[in-house]
Structure 1
Amino acid sequence: MTVSSRAQSFDMAAAQYAASRPSYPPALFDAVEELTGGALAGARVADVGAGTGIATALLCKRGAEVIAVEPGEAMARECSRALSHVPVVRGDGNALPLAGASCDLITYAQSWQWTDPARSVPEALRVLRPSGALAIWWNTTAFDVPWIRSQHERITRCCGTRPRPATRPDDSDAVRLAGLTGLRVTRRQVRWTRVVSLDVHLANIGSRSAFLVLDETRRRTFFAGERKLLGESFPHGTVEESYLVDLLVAVRS
């Protein structure tokens, strides 16, 4: 399964993605402002791989002037429906449909891994203003929570994926951004939690690309077993999901 096909798989579950995916805590955007050295209020921001607009909406609430860039037709439609005041353009990080030197900040929420850095970094630098910055982040697995770690191990066995470290952008991302482009790179982690119903929790997991491209029989079998197992552990029908947001900010030095 190619990276491109997995990236495109989100279009099959746009509504499920919008309804179940976790958001981001206010402390994340505080950190973005601190590490970029600029306020989001009034900033011109391109949210690349915007999906259904989860990060886009929060950037708007902080007063940013946001344009959403999304390759998927269904995802872009969900974003436009939820955020009618935000311009949504079709495109991706490898070929941004934006004018040069037009943005103060480019954000990649859960989307950097779908780009080719050899293309996306030069594109970002083209679109950024001289004092601009990139902010890349992921909600990552909180492995120190035993039930979450156990579930992650079951997911990797089911989907045949490799277990990932608790941090998502690895050292090669930082080296590439800092060494090859002259950017000053800083990393920050922000922990947060949310309480959701078991249904929402399972829908969130099912919206991941590893499951969207999985054989239907294996997918159904996994979620039937997972519902039974978690139902026994959380008899009240709600779970507390813990996340560690891994943030990488690159500023022109």
Structure 2
Amino acid sequence: MTSSPRAHSFNAAAVQYGASRPSYPSALFDSVEEFLGHSLAGARAADVGAGTGIATALLCERGAEVIAVEPGEAMAVEFRRLLPDVPIVRGDGNALPLAASSRDLITYAQSWQWTDTKRSVPEALRVLRSDGALAIWWNTTAFDVPWIRAQHERVAHHCGVPPRSVVRPDDREAVRLAGLTGLRVVRRQIRWQRRVTLDTHLANISTRSAFLVLEQAANRAFLVGERRRLREAFPDEVVEETYLVDLLVASRP
């Protein structure tokens, strides 16, 4: 994985990350199974950049035999606390500590962007069996929900980063941006929602990498303002978050 401060910032908030980050919808794993042409039950999978194990747990629920790969010490500690029966190794997506042709599926949930695709794509292909697949995905912003779009812009301004474009890349551009050109790739976009307390919603914001590298007093002030705004929109302090999972599943051509 990249050595940038943002890539390693999650270790400072591992417990909060595991408690507040959104999970993923069942339809995502249905799509992965459709691509594979069989159930995940019994599939040998590696979840890379596994963090606290949010995606790992869902793969296990589908019956996959999962090994997690995680570079961060604090994240790995939290993973072991939450999923004590799942093996985890410290490792890097650019140099996987896994045997060649040993996995049916390699997944990157919210973590592909931290790799150097010139290295991570060949590494995935090395570790995958000939008929295996690489699945990468992100929970992305539902820009058609006005309050979510407005909040995204406020967070970006606070973090000093440009807001994401509301125009999503088409399939060809998404494949190029992910470094998967030349592979057989299927893309799915899956809309889903979750209802969480206002406290959980704000905690999730505070685990974002661009947020974690900032001065904490400024972050606390920002979150006070967000709490005030959201109480007006959600007086019962239960927030309905909407996500669009962007999934790319790739295999050898």
Q: TM-score range by the shorter chain?
A: over 0.9
Q: Distance in 1 between matches of 2:56 and 2:75?
A: 13
Correspondence 1:202-241 to 2 at 5 A = 202-241=202-241
Distance between the aligned counterparts of 2:64 and 2:203, measured in 1?
Answer: 30
Shift of 1:173: 5.5
> How far did 1:37 drift?
2.2
Counterpart residue number, 2:175? 174
Question: Percent identity, aligned pairs only?
Answer: 70
Aligned equivalent of 1:12: 12
Structure 1 residues 210, 3: CA separation in 2 closer, same or farther (over 3 Å shift)? farther
CA displacement at 1:178 relative to structure 2: 2.9
Structure 1 position 190 matched with structure 2 position 190: yes
Contact kept in structure 2, 1:168 and 1:246, CA below 8 Å: no
| Corresponding residue of 2:90 | 90
Q: Please give the root-mean-square deviation of Cα atoms over the aligned residues, in Å.
A: 1.6
Unaligned runs of 5+ in 2: none
Aligned-pair CA distance for 1:142: 0.4
| Aligned pairs, number | 249
Residue in 1 aligned with 2:60?
60
Structure-2 change in CA distance of 1:162 and 1:36 (3 Å): farther
Change (3 A) 1:43 1:190: same
Q: TM-score, normalised by structure 1?
A: 0.94
Does the CA-based 8 Å contact 1:189-1:244 persist in structure 2? yes
1:102: which partner in 2?
102
Aligned 8 A contact 2:93 2:120 in 1: yes
Q: CA distance change for structure 1 residues 101 and 68 in 2, over 3 Å: closer, same or farther?
A: same
Q: TM-score, normalised on structure 2?
A: 0.94
Return the alpha-carbon distance in structure 1 between the equivalents of residues 192 and 165 of structure 2.
18
Distance 1:168 1:151, change over 3 A: farther
Give, as a single letter, the amino acid of the residue that structure 1 aligns with 2:181. Answer: A
Q: Which amino acid aligns with 2:142?
A: A
Residues 61, 105 of structure 1: CA spacing in aligned structure 2 closer, same or farther, 3 A cutoff?
A: same
Q: What 5-or-longer segments of structure 1 have no aligned partner?
A: none
Aligned-pair CA distance for 1:170: 7.8
Number of the residue aligned with 2:33: 33
Secondary structure of 1:140's counterpart equals strand
CA distance in 2, matches of 1:178, 1:4: 25
* Aligned mates of 2:75, 2:133 — CA distance in 1: 25
Secondary structure of 1:63's match? coil
SS of aligned partner of 1:46: strand
